[in-house]
Amino acid sequence: MEKAEAVTMEKIVSLSRRRGFVFPSSEIYGGLGSAYDYGHYGVLAKNNVKARWLEAMIQERDDIVALDSAIILNPRIWEASGHVEGFSDPLVDCRTCKLRFRADQLGESACGRKPSKKPGETPECDLTEPRQFHLMFETKVGAVEDSGSKAYLRPETAQGIFVNFKNVLQLARRKPPFGIAQIGKSFRNEITPGNFLFRTREFEQMEMEYFVPPAEAEKWYRYWIDERFGWYTRYGLRESHLRVRPHEADELSHYSSATSDIEYLFPIGWSELEGIADRGDFDLSRHTEFSGTKLEYVDGVTGERYVPHVIEPAGGVDRALLAFLVDAYDEEVVGERERTVLRLHPRIAPVKAAVLPLIGKSEEMVAKAQALYEELRLRHSVEYDDSGAIGRRYRRQDEIGTPWAFTIDEQTLEDDTVTVRDRDSLAQERLPIGGVRAWLDDALERDWKTPKAD
């Protein structure tokens, strides 16, 4: 029989806080709605998500280069991209409960007074007509407050890539198909943020713009859907919890001729993890028009010239991390004890291994454990812990998703072997202490599949 999913969003929020992954932001000042700060383990895990993405985009292939563009760009860029004119959501206010709702999501929203009802469903609901609400954050640049100094915090990283197209083409000597990849913060004044890290106003994106000859756009669009789907399963998400959903014609953005979302079955239901869009030549043509700089590819040998089409996989770092946490969360009873465990992919897990002297008061065990810890920490994120009962120390590591624990016990003092405890199977084996480093290097290279039922 299929085991019911133990995970809920509340449990993820509570574990994240309890173990120092993610805190509500500005907490001592009463917080700021839907803003979060990452603590130690959150930073390590988030960095791992980004590192795995960069590896897949840059290290493992020859056709993509990296970029890190500015957050505040020339405001004309957002006119060219269509954001100044069109980046808004329709919004309705309820005069009775004073809440705001996205007009296109009334069916999925809850009335402020009767959460069992949708906005507009009770006789007391008094909704305004929809108004367009702009999602870009405005700011001022420089000391002079005139309209010339108005600028925006970027709502996506992609435009910083398009405006560097010529630089990369010339300086990195690329020829389509090639890509430019960037990770960075984006800002959107979302009307209805929420569901923890799923939708916030400040978030990180991982975006790659892949420039292709126009006739190859369809082929590369399919290719990148498969590639990105494969990345999520490679790092542990269950295939049964992932799906590709092509957009209907009326859902497509103004720039896109085709878009598919990779969706994950979050506790809130199937929701977008990443979008893969065929943006055609919209962006390069618009920036050519607005900047006066020709953004096209000219073949040095044949003289052929064209405006490349763009395929864009655009994902969220925070949203991906949330999916990894949700997918990894598990509860089980071992012996008489209940344990919570994050079955994270070892290369996503914030800590790779714990080094634990069985008896924290034994000087000999502590000395051996510390020596092993010093050796391992040079290469990997590892932790040393000698405080409290060993069972408690294991459970703490289980909750932060540490895949292995190396325990130094009485036998170590006799024969220089240690036990390796596996987070998922709880199997223990003995290893020579001198071989632990190579064992861990090797374990981190192995393919990994979640032990959770698909």
Q: Whose Cβ is closer to ligand ATP: residue 273's or residue 405's? A: 273
Binding of residue 278 to ligand ATP (CB under 6 A): no
The four Cα atoms 265, 270, 274, 275 give a dihedral, to 10 degrees, of: 150
> Which among 397, 378, 377 has a CA at the least distance from the CA of 387?
397
Which range, of 22-30, 144-152, 300-308, 312-320, touches ligand ATP by CB under 6 A?
312-320
Of 44-63, binders to ligand ATP (CB under 6 A) are none
Residue 96 or 192 having the CB closest to ligand ATP: 192
- Of residues 255-274, those binding ligand ATP (CB under 6 A): 272-274
Closest distance of CB 381 from ligand ATP, Å = 25
Count residues contacting ligand ATP (CB under 6 A)? 16
Residues 209, 263, 318, 399: which binds ligand ATP (CB under 6 A)? Answer: 318
Shortest spacing between CB 54 and ligand ATP, in angstroms = 17
| Residue 252 engages ligand ATP in binding (rule: CB under 6 A) | no
Listed ranges 146-154, 200-208, 374-382, 421-429: which one lies at the site for ligand ATP (CB under 6 A): 200-208
- The candidate with the shortest Cα–Cα distance to 313, out of 283, 278, 282, 275, is 275
SS3 374: helix
The C-alpha atoms of residue 127 and residue 103 are separated, in whole angstroms, by 10
* Residue 199 binding ligand ATP, by CB under 6 A: yes
Query: x-or-dash pattern for ligand ATP, window 179-198, by CB under 6 A?
Result: ---------x-x--------
Per-residue burial over 105-114, b if 16 or more Cβ lie within 10 Å, else e, is ebeebebbee
Q: Residue 60, SS3?
A: coil
Please answer whether residues 372 and 321 qualify as being in contact, where contact means their C-beta atoms are separated by less than 8 angstroms. no
Considering only residues 81, 159, 200, 402, which one is a binding residue for ligand ATP as defined by CB under 6 A? Answer: 200
DSSP 173-219: T--SSEEEEEEEEEE---SS-BTGGGB-SEEEEEEEEEEE-GGGHHH
Is 344:257 a contact under the CB 8 Å cutoff? no
Q: Which of 83, 319, 343, 452 binds ligand ATP (CB under 6 A)?
A: 319
**Nearest residue to 348 (alpha-carbon basis) of 394, 397, 384, 401:** 401
- For ligand ATP, the binding residue among 160, 184, 315, 357 (CB under 6 A) is 315
Closest contact distance (angstroms) between CB of 183 and ligand ATP is 11
Tokens of 437: 């480093």
* Residue 159 lies near ligand ATP (rule: CB under 6 A): no
Among 165, 203, 232, 394, binds ligand ATP (CB under 6 A): 203
* CB-count burial class (<10 Å; 0-12, 13-18, 19+) for 56: buried
Contacts of 282 (CB under 8 A, 6+ apart): 254, 255, 256, 310
The footprint of ligand ATP (CB under 6 A) covers: 156, 188, 190, 199-200, 203, 205, 272-275, 314-316, 318-319
